[in-house]
Structure 1
Amino acid sequence: MLLFVLLLIDWGAGSLTSVRGALWTGLAVLLFLILFPPRVTTGEGWLASRGLLRERRVRTDLLVSVRCLDGVSQRLVLRDVFGDRVQINPQVLVNNPDLWHRLAEDAHRSATSGSLTCGQTALRRVSERIDRANARTVFKVSGLD
């Protein structure tokens, strides 16, 4: 869509050439690659984040650490005993309670087995964020907002 708008504006201004068309196409492809959201999937004992070119997978039942990186975009970094690492946006967990439930269950299993040494606070923050979002939704649906 962006490419179509860019080409249409340039054509309307009368300055569209094959070189400018190639530049607009390159810009549109670059923006698509940068903004392409990773797809997060989970199963019993694992969580995977698949981007455009590769998939990263971590064993959630063998987590060693969970960290929350603050910045322009928040990231939750999960690391397992094998050294594998996955970064996900916590908003993905807020938007999909099934993913959160699976991750929380496996992280609890990691904590009870003793492998999760760092990350209880980060998980608690995400849990509180999800609880707040769910409470807001309940209040909005019930008309108590």
Structure 2
Amino acid sequence: MAIRQCGSVSSHLVLCDAYGGCVELDPRVLAANPMIWHELDTGVYRSVERGTLRHGADVLAQLDHRIDDDAM
């Protein structure tokens, strides 16, 4: 699994699984849907525990901070 952020003005996340499948998400979708964000965050946490997240934990940590800041 890998996560990367593309762009700075109109950024989006690219999530790739172990089989080469990828999906692009606008981070605002995650911020507007806490349940989707929770599912993604939980899955990433599991990937980190299992050693299957190759890179991108820092991208999700930054997004987590932004979502938390927006919620306050």
TM-score between the two structures when normalised by the length of structure 1: 0.48
Deviation at 1:106, TM superposition (A): 0.7
> Aligned Cα RMSD in Å?
0.9
Per-residue deviation, residues 11-32 of structure 1 (Å, max 9, x unmatched): xxxxxxxxxxxxxxxxxxxxxx
Deviation at 1:73, TM superposition (A): 1.5
Q: Letter of the aligned partner of 2:47 in structure 1? A: S
* Aligned counterparts, 1:124-143, within 5 A: 124-135=61-72
Where 1:103 maps in the other structure, the secondary structure is helix
After superposing on structure 2, the runs of 4+ consecutive aligned residues of structure 1 that deviate more than 3 Å are none
Q: Is 2:27 the partner of 1:94? A: no
Q: Letter of the aligned partner of 1:74 in structure 2? A: S
* Aligned counterparts, 1:72-91, within 5 A: 72-91=9-28
Per-residue deviation, residues 116-135 of structure 1 (Å, max 9, x unmatched): 01011100011001100111
Where 1:127 maps in the other structure, the secondary structure is helix
Q: Letter of the aligned partner of 1:89 in structure 2? A: D
Deviation at 1:71, TM superposition (A): 3.9
- Identity %, equivalent residues: 36
Query: How far, CA to CA, are the matches of 1:68 and 1:133 in structure 2?
Result: 19
Aligned residues, how many? 72
Higher relative contact order (CA 8 A, sep 6+): 2
Query: How far, CA to CA, are the matches of 2:40 and 2:20 in structure 1?
Result: 18
* Aligned counterparts, 1:15-94, within 5 A: 64-94=1-31
Higher radius of gyration, 1 or 2: 1
Q: Is 2:52 the partner of 1:115? A: yes
Q: Letter of the aligned partner of 2:15 in structure 1? A: L
Unmatched 5+ residue regions in structure 2? none
Where 1:116 maps in the other structure, the secondary structure is coil
